[in-house]
Amino acid sequence: MGAAFLARRALYGLISLLILSAIIFACTHLLPGDAAVTILGEGATPEALAALRARLGLDRSVAVQYVDWLVGIPRGAFGTSTTLNQPAGPIIAERFSHSLALALITTVVAGALAIPLGVAAAARRGSRLDVSILTASYVGISIPDFVVAPILIILLASPPLSLLPSSGYEPMARSFAGWLAHIVLPVIVLAFLLIAHLLRQTRSGMLEVLSSDYIRTARLKGLRERVVLWRHAVRNGLSTTVAVLALDIGYLMGSIVIVEEIFAYPGLGRLMVYSVANRDIPLVQGTALVIGAVYVAANLLADLAQAALNPRVARP
Amino acid sequence: MSDLAAAPAPPLPRVNLYLACGAALTALAIAVALLGLVYSPYAPSKVDLLHRLTPPTPAHLLGTDRFGRDVLSRVLAGGWRSVTLGFGATALGLAIGLPVALATGFYRGRLDQIVMRFVDALLSIPTLVFALLVIVGLGPGLVQAVLALGVAASPKFVRIVRSAVLDAASHDYVTAARARGESALYIQYGEILPSVWAPIIVEGSINVGFALVGGAALSYLGLGTQPPHADWGVMINEAQKYISVSFWPLLGPALAICASVIGFNLLGEGLRDRLHLQRSFRDG
Amino acid sequence: MTADSRRSPGVTRRRFTRDLVASGAGALLLPGVLRGTAHGQAKPGGQLTVALYKDLRTLNPIMGIFGNEWRSTVNLYNNLTRLTATGGVEGDLAESFTAAPNSATWTFVLRDGVRFHDGSALAAADVVATIEKILDPKTAAPYKAELGPIASVRAVDRRTVRIDLSSPYADLPKALASAMARIVSERGIADFGKLDTTVYGTGPFVLKEFVANERVVMERNQRYFRSGRPYLDRLVLRVLPDTTSQIAALENREVDVIGEVESDAFKRVGGIKGVKAVQVTGGTFNNIVLYADRPPFDDPRVRKALRLAMDRPQMSDAITGGVGTPADDQPISPAYEYFDKTIPLRKPDLAQARQLLKEAGHGSGFEHRLVVSNSPASREKTAVVVQAMAEQIGIRFNIELMDNARYGSTIWNKGVSSYVGNYGTRPTEDAILSKLYSAVYGIDEGRWVKTEPGKRAEQLIVQGRQVSDKGERRKIYADLQRLCRDEGPFIIPNFFNSLYATQSYVNDWPTRAITTEMRAENCWLSPEAPGRKA
């Protein structure tokens, strides 16, 4: 696992991102309507549209616009948002930091709960513990986040309890306690969903491994059950879990639009939906690129972790 | 030898319980959907502006929604849309994702790398945005929604199944099969696929739930089921706004989705256990 | 609330008013009543946080199209004129204004000593630069047409501006009070590209921070030309897109005002202890656009049949959750000065409707496509309710939901399909009537102008703009309301009331029919307001 391997994966990552940006650019352009229409609303007379398109550079050919945007990337310039008329880079960067914080914390919380619970459920398959853990996890998957969120707000963030702020975001620099308070409810809502997902895959993977020859051999050798479980089974049983973790981080970056709306949390999910709905192409491209980069990085880490856990997989 | 090495095994009846409950709930969901195709106490779109947001009464067993429409009728009538979305999107996602996962995990090398770049690219597009692109381009409708959610789910299946395939391909029985000179297709579908059923079933059954609710997310963007038609996700989405006024319009579809998702997941769990048992007897 | 003892002696009257308010009665009276009691005790200081619903993309007053953008710029800029609480117009930056007898030339005299936030003095050149920029076709200003038929604008001297119109236009002062006519300094106009994020205004508040679609933070302009105002130290606008969290924020006192309450939440908000919920008759509406130049709705009998199927009080109740006003298919609501209250609300008559359809050759009804944009959400509600009503007589609307950008570029005003339009309250009757029904000054949305009644409507509209005698205008607009109601190409089932919610310690919050007239310069906080720092 050397520098060559990492360099190659980095290159592959870049290729993925390039493909991604081309797909998104093409798709968004094929959609009816453009930023000029969404900027002008009812004022969209043919003359106004023509004038605005000229001003925004939307009347150039698609290829020219794409290349123009692309060459700015190495310089760190992600173009100018057409609907907000501000540089796209800083907007995306700020949202990115918020989403990253949320994604990492949620993943850690969910992982810390789901993996031990999944292992415990698998070790005691069929017992009351297993059944109750499993049932609780099903509830997590079947209630949509936009139902859980308002319920939590009504219970925890409204009188009489009012334990937490109901929405918004506070920068860590201003107040760590405030930042934490604002992030708790979104994390709970999201973790609900993630725990269910992770727990089931963990349990499933563990069940597979626990009945394999490898484990039987370890038991035959007379090792204590706990050692068998944690030292041997877990290492091999977690490969799907790791893949799921990587996917979930990516999911948390880009798909939690509704939670971001309900909690007015300024993340990338909302930004992406806003920019597609308003055909703000520089924002769409930039956001997609950032989310894509996170997926690429997360998947790379997942592949590395899987190879570390199960060396037989690590062929080139 | 297997007797000596037998791990402490829990009593088998539990497995049947999962399978039984799961099958029962899933059958119930499908039955409700089928029933809704032919019967409902009221026309599901019948508006009754004088009786809006009422709690359950003998006339309206699950209450009425914000336009006075009977919730029970809408749960019945919308059932087939939700069930089709859930199953259809998952089936499509698997139909695309499984062959790709098997091929890349088996062949590795350049094919694997190229395909995975595309998969990573598609994976990075948030499902909602993907669906938005598809539906805004193709227009709204049930088929388009199934297409959008199904294709959007496939890269995820590829990723997860592929890692299980990588694991399985490193096992002895695959090496043995290669040594025997079996064809690549046989090894993929005959040897590897049976041993990766577990994550497929688990992920698939979870995805059914996501797709059921996915319809609601689409309607949030105004692209899902067209009004005044119903599906469970759309009903939840509409009802959620009135939660502080009345939670009854929420209860009906929420119960329907919960029951279906739990049922299908239980079924998946039971199937996984049963297949796993069968296979360990075979390998044993 | 134990704060009662610290309140002013007017508390009994105020409590009485609040109860009136929460039950929705006495709506139009309110602004005057609240002001009379409170003004004497106004205390400076404090921060006020307002929760707003959605989009806030730009602070450029000329290009902004969303209500929240106007709510921001009204506090950062001034206009030449502004609307009064009773629907009239008075000078804002203009000390006085006069019209030549034919109302084709207007002269505005600016106040002396007004300074922009950067310290430069207000001069006629700034007004000229702003208005010329709005009128310039290259600017693509979305609401240029509603400014009126301005031919040229000149600075006569440092404090006097002369506007020449190409045809008489009695409503020019009110038009200049609208959101897109805020006065930007000449330097700002030269720096037009930066106006989305930078403010070159004279307004009561100075921009401190702006994050698009999230928040606007403003601080008191110490140099504001109305001395003593604003009372508030800071004004913060926060975007909270979800109703549940808006309500929770109000209950927790994380916000002090909800700038525009969702109709479904209004009753709940009114029940919160310590919160005043106010509704004012509004003029916002959704209209079903039927085309009068093609079948099936070119036949006036078919249009009449559809009208007769609408039970408007029921529809208004269902669409607005009880906080709306039934409407009669024409856009002038009781919020407008020339609203004609003698016109009775049309009652449904299904039998006659079916009869008319049969006569027109549609005895078995017909299907009709209706496109509905997904934003704002009230469009879908209107469509579903209209669909249900129309079904009773056999007209089956097939609703097609659509992404807003696609709707804007392929459906709106393209004459392709019927759709649900959405219009806010305008400062003048003429603004909304010409927009909808005139081909010369507006978009003739229903393609009505070539029909006999449509031609007559166009004539009346032109007349109404040019005449300045109030009595004459009242008659003209009364005729127009009847004409549009009886023959026009739209179904308009209701008007949406303007809904506000404020904490009890907030005083003199502007509650108007036009919710975007959210000028906070007179607002002040009672001592029990929580001290807060953004």
- Per-residue pLDDT, C370: 96
pLDDT tens figures, C14-44: 333 333 344 333 333 344 333 434 456 888 9
Contacts of C442 (CB under 8 A, 6+ apart): C145, C434, C435, C436
Mean model confidence pLDDT for chain A: 84
Q: What percentage of chain C has pLDDT greater than the value 90?
A: 77
Q: How far apart are CA B228 and CA C186, in angstroms?
A: 52
**Do A207 and B221 lie within an 8 Å CB cutoff?**
no
Q: How far apart are CA A133 and CA C228, in angstroms?
A: 64
A254-258, B2-6, C12-16, C87-91: which is most confident: C87-91
Q: How far apart are CA A210 and CA B276, in angstroms?
A: 11
Closest CA to A143 of A80, A213, A193, A188: A193
Tokens of C320: 């607005």
* Exposed/middle/buried for residue C320 (C-beta within 10 Å: 0-12, 13-18, 19+): buried
Calculate how close chain C gets to B234, using CA atoms only, in Å: 13
Best C1, C70, C239, C245 residue to mutate vs chain A (most A CBs within 10 Å): C245
Q: How many CB atoms lie within 10 A of CB C398?
A: 11
SS3 of residue C468 by DSSP: coil
Residues of C in contact with A167 (CB under 8 A): 240, 242, 245, 248-249, 254
Question: What proportions of chain B, in percent to the nearest 5, are helix, strand and coil?
Answer: 75, 0, 25
Q: How far apart are CA B52 and CA B57, in angstroms?
A: 13
- Picking from C311, C373, C380, the nearest residue to B227 by CB comes out as C380
Closest CA to B260 of A135, A200, A142, A132: A142
Residue B275, chain A, CB below 8 Å: the answer is no
Residues of B in contact with A31 (CB under 8 A): 133, 136-137
pLDDT tens figures, A56-111: 888 888 888 888 888 888 887 888 999 999 999 999 999 999 999 999 999 999 99
Q: What percentage of chain A has pLDDT greater than the value 90?
A: 17
Instruction: Taking residues A254-272, report their average pLDDT.
Output: 86
- Per-residue pLDDT, A244: 84
Write the CA distances from B211 to A250, B85, B91, B128, C240, integer angstroms.
18, 6, 11, 11, 28
**Do A48 and C141 lie within an 8 Å CB cutoff?**
yes
Q: Tell me the CA end-to-end span of chain B in Å, nearest whole number.
A: 9
Instruction: Nearest chain C residue to A34 by CA: give it.
Output: C405
Instruction: Taking residues A286-305, report their average pLDDT.
Output: 86
Mean model confidence pLDDT for chain C: 89
- Per-residue pLDDT, B277: 65
Q: How far apart are CA C131 and CA C151, in angstroms?
A: 11
List the single range of B186-190, C233-237, C358-362 with lowest mean pLDDT: B186-190
Contacts of C243 (CB under 8 A, 6+ apart): B241, C262, C264, C265
Handedness of CA C169, C173, C178, C180 (dihedral sign): positive
CB within 8 Å of chain A, chain C residues 174-233: 193, 196-197, 211-214
Length of chain B: 284
| pLDDT exceeds 90 at position C353 | yes
Q: How many CB atoms lie within 10 A of CB C520?
A: 25
- In angstroms, how far apart are the furthest CA atoms of chain A? 84
pLDDT tens figures, C303-340: 999 999 999 999 999 999 889 999 999 999 999 999 99
Calculate how close chain A gets to C33, using CA atoms only, in Å: 31
pLDDT tens figures, C370-418: 999 988 889 999 999 999 999 999 999 999 888 888 899 899 999 999 9
Calculate how close chain A gets to C496, using CA atoms only, in Å: 19
- Per-residue pLDDT, B257: 84
Instruction: Nearest chain A residue to C242 by CA: give it.
Output: A262
Return the exposure string of C485-508: e unless at least 16 CB atoms fall within 10 Å of the residue's CB, then b. Answer: bbbbbbbbbbbbbbbbbbbbbbbb
Q: Tell me the CA end-to-end span of chain C in Å, nearest whole number.
A: 25
Q: Chain centroid to CA C145: how far?
A: 16
Q: What's this model's pTM, rounded to 2 decimal places?
A: 0.86
Best B69, B225, B226, B229 residue to mutate vs chain C (most C CBs within 10 Å): B226
Instruction: Nearest chain C residue to A147 by CA: give it.
Output: C244
Closest CA to C262 of C252, C250, C273, C247: C247
Write the CA distances from C403 to A37, A235, C199, C372, C386, integer angstroms.
12, 48, 32, 9, 21
- Per-residue pLDDT, A93: 93
- Per-residue pLDDT, C98: 94
Q: What is the dihedral of CA A308, A312, B2, B5, to 10 degrees?
A: -30
Q: Is B141 left (phi over 0), alpha (psi -120 to 50) or beta?
A: left
Question: B234 near B82, Cβ under 8 Å?
Answer: no
**Better-predicted residue by pLDDT, B55 or A224:** B55
Element (H, E) at C235: strand C234-239
Q: What phi and psi, each to the nearest 5 degrees, are found at residue A98?
A: -65, -45
Cis preceding linkage at C453, omega within 30: no
**Better-predicted residue by pLDDT, C193 or A262:** C193
Q: How far apart are CA B183 and CA C25, in angstroms?
A: 82
Contacts of A200 (CB under 8 A, 6+ apart): A118, A134, A137, B202, B206, B265, B269
pLDDT tens figures, C114-171: 999 999 999 999 999 999 999 999 999 999 988 999 999 999 999 999 999 999 898 9
- Per-residue pLDDT, C40: 61
The one-letter amino acid at C5: S
Instruction: Taking residues A196-206, report their average pLDDT.
Output: 85
Strand extents, DSSP E, C307-374: 324-326, 366-373
Q: How far apart are CA B77 and CA B53, in angstroms?
A: 19
Residue spans of chain B under pLDDT 50: 1-7, 9-13, 282-284
**Do C409 and A150 lie within an 8 Å CB cutoff?**
no
Q: How far apart are CA B191 and CA B106, in angstroms?
A: 11
- Per-residue pLDDT, C518: 94
Strand extents, DSSP E, C473-520: 490-491, 494-503, 506-507
- Picking from A48, A158, A264, the nearest residue to C240 by CB comes out as A264
Residues of A in contact with C426 (CB under 8 A): none
Question: B237 near A261, Cβ under 8 Å?
Answer: no
Q: What phi and psi, each to the nearest 5 degrees, are found at residue C214?
A: -130, -60
- Per-residue pLDDT, C146: 87
CA angle C398, C421, B43 (to 5 degrees): 30
pLDDT tens figures, B133-147: 877 777 777 888 899
Contacts of B43 (CB under 8 A, 6+ apart): B73
Chains that touch A (3 or more CB pairs under 8 A): B, C
Element (H, E) at C96: strand C94-99
